[in-house]
C-alpha cells in the first residue's frame, strides 16, 4: 500500500504539538502562588528555548521602595531633677511655742504637768477678743503662775480676720501671749459640698467643731500639754478664775470618774445661787470655760463630732458615767450678743442672767478632796437625808427666809420631789431654772438631783425615789 508522505508528515507534526503542550502544563507545586501573592497571578511566560522539564518561575516582582529613616529627634539638654518645694512653716506645724516672745511660757518639748494651756478660741470678733483678753490679763499674774500652776496663753484663730492679727501685735497682748496659731481650714463663708453632712445653713457648726478638734490637737498632740483650760472670745472670767482651776485640775487628774472641770453653772442665775465656795458634780457637760486632760483628748480625738461638739460631749457613750465639777456661782460670763453662729439667741433669756462671781475665793488654800467621788457621794447622801422634806413648791414658797434659817443662823437644807420630766419642768419654771433635759437628765443634775437656792436655803430637787430614800443614790 502506498503511503502518502504528506499526510504522514502532517500527523507527526500534530502529535508533536500535542505532546509539547501536555508536558508544558505538568508544572510542580512550588510554582503556585503563595498566600502573600495575588490570587490572580499573571500567566507564566515560557522562554523560547526552555526545555519542557525545566522548573519555570514567574518573573521577579518589582522591588519595594526603601523605608525612609525615622525623623531625627531634636537634641535637648538633660533636665535637672526637680527639688521639692519647701513650704514656709505654718503655725500649726510649730512643735513648740514661740521662744522669741517676751513673756508668757516658752516650751521646747513636752510641757510639765504643772504647765497648763489656756486656749482661747477666736474667729472674727477682735473687739470681743480684746474684752476677753483684758479680763484674763487682769487676773493672771505677770509671771503667769497661780498656786502650783503656770498658764500659757494661746490664741487659736479661725476665719480670715486681719483685725485679730493687728490686736495681738499690740501691747500688752504681744508680750503676754505665748502663741497665736491659725486653723489652716478657716472658712470665709459657710462650707458646702458632699463632705459636709448637714444642710448648708448649719455648716458653720461643722466649721466650729473642726476648729476645736484642730486646736485641741495642737495643744495636746503637738505642744504636748498635760491639761488645758478652754475659753472662747466672748467670755469674761472671774477674779478667782485661775485659783479655781489651779486647785481643781489636780483633782481632775486624780479622779478617773471625772470628765472635766467647768467654770459655768447653767442654773447660775442671780437669786438662785448664794455660796461662792460651793462646788457640785454634774452629769451634764456645762462648757463655757472648762478644763480637760490629755488622757481625755486621747480618748476623744478619733471620735470627735462633725458638728455640735458641745452636744457630743454630753452623749452618754462619750461621758461614760463620768462627771464634771461645776461651781454654784459661775466663774465665767458669756457676753457675746452679735456675730456668733447662734446670733445671741440665748443671750437675753438665759446667758445674760447668769451671775459671775465677784467675791474671790482662795481655792488653792482649801482642801478640795471632798470632791473625789466616794467622799462626794457620801456627803451628798447625808445632806439629802438630813434635809427637810417639803411637800410641794407652794409649801416652800409660803416659808419666809427666817423659816428657812437654822438656829445657828446658817441657811437650811430642804428637798422637793419630782416624778417625771413633765413634773420637773413645772417646778423648774416656777423658780426660773433651766427646763431643758439633756440625754434624759435635767441640766446641772447629778444622779437626777438639781441644787438651787430659795431665800438662801439650799434646795435639793430630787427624783421621787431619792427624796424618799437617799440611799438609792448609790444605785443610780
* Catalytic residue list: 310
- In whole angstroms, what is the distance from residue 200 CA to residue 197 CA? 9
Distances (CA, A) of 213 to 75, 183, 206, 207, 245: 55, 10, 11, 10, 22
- In whole angstroms, what is the distance from residue 351 CA to residue 332 CA? 11
Beta bridge partners of 459: 414, 452
Residues 6+ away with beta carbon under 8 Å from 195: none
Helix intervals (H) in 75-119? none
Beta bridge partners of 417: 462
- Residue pair 443/434 in contact (Cβ under 8 Å)? The answer is yes
Name the burial class of residue 339, with classes exposed (0-12), middle (13-18) and buried (19+) by CB atoms within 10 angstroms of its CB.
Answer: middle
Name the burial class of residue 154, with classes exposed (0-12), middle (13-18) and buried (19+) by CB atoms within 10 angstroms of its CB.
Answer: buried
Nearest to 261 by CA among 210, 219, 227: 227
Helix (H, G, I), strand (E, B) or coil at 151: strand
Helix (H, G, I), strand (E, B) or coil at 155: strand
Nearest to 155 by CA among 181, 125, 116: 181
Read off φ and ψ for residue 460, nearest 5 degrees: -100, 110
- In whole angstroms, what is the distance from residue 420 CA to residue 417 CA? 10
Beta bridge partners of 413: 458
Residue written as cell 441640766? 443
Residues 6+ away with beta carbon under 8 Å from 11: none
- In whole angstroms, what is the distance from residue 335 CA to residue 351 CA? 8
Amino acid at each position: 500500500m502506498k503511503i502518502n508522505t504528506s499526510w504522514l508528515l502532517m500527523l507527526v507534526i500534530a502529535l508533536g504539538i500535542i505532546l509539547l503542550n501536555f508536558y508544558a502544563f505538568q508544572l510542580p507545586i512550588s510554582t503556585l502562588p503563595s498566600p502573600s501573592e495575588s490570587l490572580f497571578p499573571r500567566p507564566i511566560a515560557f522562554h523560547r528555548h526552555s526545555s519542557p522539564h525545566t522548573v519555570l518561575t514567574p518573573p521577579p516582582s518589582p522591588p519595594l521602595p526603601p523605608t525612609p529613616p525615622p525623623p531625627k529627634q531634636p537634641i535637648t539638654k538633660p533636665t535637672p531633677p526637680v527639688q521639692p518645694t519647701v513650704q514656709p512653716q505654718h503655725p500649726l506645724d510649730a512643735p513648740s511655742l514661740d521662744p522669741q516672745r517676751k513673756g508668757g511660757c516658752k516650751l521646747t518639748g513636752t510641757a510639765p504637768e504643772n504647765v497648763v494651756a489656756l486656749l482661747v478660741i477666736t474667729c472674727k470678733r477682735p473687739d470681743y477678743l480684746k474684752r476677753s483678753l483684758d479680763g484674763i490679763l487682769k487676773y493672771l499674774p505677770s509671771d503667769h503662775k497661780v498656786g502650783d500652776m503656770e498658764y500659757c496663753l494661746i490664741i487659736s484663730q479661725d476665719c480670715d480676720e486681719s483685725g485679730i492679727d493687728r490686736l495681738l501685735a499690740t501691747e500688752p497682748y504681744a508680750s503676754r501671749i505665748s502663741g497665736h496659731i491659725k486653723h489652716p481650714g478657716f472658712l470665709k463663708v459657710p462650707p458646702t459640698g458632699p463632705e459636709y453632712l448637714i444642710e448648708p445653713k448649719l455648716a458653720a457648726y461643722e466649721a466650729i467643731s473642726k476648729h476645736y478638734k484642730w486646736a485641741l490637737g495642737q495643744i495636746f498632740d503637738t505642744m504636748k500639754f498635760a491639761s488645758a483650760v478652754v475659753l472662747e472670745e466672748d467670755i469674761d472670767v472671774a477674779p478667782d478664775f485661775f485659783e479655781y482651776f489651779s486647785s481643781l485640775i489636780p483633782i481632775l487628774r486624780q479622779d478617773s470618774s471625772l470628765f472635766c472641770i467647768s467654770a459655768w453653772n447653767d442654773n447660775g442665775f442671780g437669786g438662785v445661787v448664794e455660796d461662792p465656795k460651793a462646788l457640785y458634780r454634774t452629769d451634764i457637760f456645762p462648757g463655757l470655760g472648762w478644763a480637760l486632760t490629755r488622757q481625755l483628748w486621747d480618748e476623744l480625738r478619733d471620735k470627735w463630732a462633725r458638728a455640735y461638739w458641745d452636744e457630743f460631749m454630753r452623749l452618754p457613750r462619750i461621758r461614760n458615767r463620768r462627771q464634771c465639777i461645776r461651781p454654784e456661782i459661775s466663774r465665767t460670763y458669756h457676753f457675746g450678743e452679735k456675730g456668733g453662729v447662734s446670733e445671741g439667741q440665748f443671750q437675753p433669756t438665759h446667758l445674760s442672767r447668769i451671775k459671775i462671781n465677784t467675791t474671790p475665793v482662795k481655792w488653792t488654800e482649801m482642801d478640795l478632796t471632798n470632791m473625789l467621788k466616794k467622799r462626794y457621794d457620801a456627803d451628798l447622801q447625808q445632806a439629802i437625808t438630813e434635809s427637810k422634806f417639803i411637800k410641794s413648791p407652794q409649801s416652800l414658797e409660803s416659808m419666809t427666809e427666817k423659816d428657812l434659817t437654822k438656829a445657828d443662823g446658817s441657811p437650811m437644807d430642804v428637798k422637793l420631789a419630782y416624778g417625771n420630766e413633765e413634773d420637773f419642768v413645772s417646778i423648774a419654771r416656777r423658780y426660773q431654772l433651766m427646763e431643758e433635759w439633756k440625754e434624759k437628765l435635767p441640766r446641772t443634775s447629778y444622779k437626777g438631783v438639781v441644787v438651787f437656792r430659795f431665800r438662801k436655803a439650799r434646795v435639793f430637787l430630787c427624783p421621787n425615789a431619792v427624796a424618799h430614800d437617799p440611799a438609792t443614790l448609790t444605785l443610780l
